[in-house]
Amino acid sequence: MIFLEFDNVEVIDRIREKYDPLAGLVRPHITIVFPFELEMTDEELAEILDVRLKGITPFKIELQGFSKSEDTFGNYLMLNIVKGQEAIQRIHNELYTNEFACCNLGYKYVPHITVGKLENANDLLCAYEEVQKIDNKFRTIVNKVSVEMIGENEQSIIVFDKDLKNNRI
């Protein structure tokens, strides 16, 4: 995952408090590899990230605007990435093409921050229409990739971070 910090994060937090049941359990983030269960140690995960993220250095990211998605997992409200998407896609592809290929569910990957998961399509449409008024830009620099464990009560537990500074080939 990529956890992001913005000067104006309170705008995202307000939306998530209203529409995202996980708002109190995990900070705003971009999922790179979806939750999986593999027999792998933290050390093995760290080694994989060292190899697969080699050459990926800190990069700028900008988010603005919202989209919605309805699929077999639910009805999602998403904050769109308008700058930095290529770097995130590269990280995702590098991991899913290699060690995490078995975890790939075959869905098209579109980097974003989930800001809502709604009960039904009508609630999603209402939430989507409401957030269309929000035109804030959210900018930051991605300096690390985090490995998260989901706790017993769905809370986010950061296992370790892979720093992208000094990550040259």
DSSP codes joined into one string, 115-145: EEEESSHHHHHHHHHHHTT----EEEEE-EE
Helix 121-131 to helix 9-19 angle (10° resolution) is 160
58, pLDDT greater than 90: yes
pLDDT in tens, 94-145: 887 877 777 777 778 889 999 999 999 999 999 999 999 999 999 999 999 9
Find out whether 65 and 133 touch, Cβ atoms under 8 Å: no
Q: What pLDDT was estimated at residue 95?
A: 83
For domain 2-163, the CATH architecture is Alpha-Beta Complex (3.90)
The whole model's pTM is what?
0.87
E-strand spans in 4-155?
Answer: 29-30, 59-71, 74-83, 112-118, 138-142, 144-150
List the beta bridge partners of residue 160: 147
- % of residues, the chain, pLDDT over 90: 53
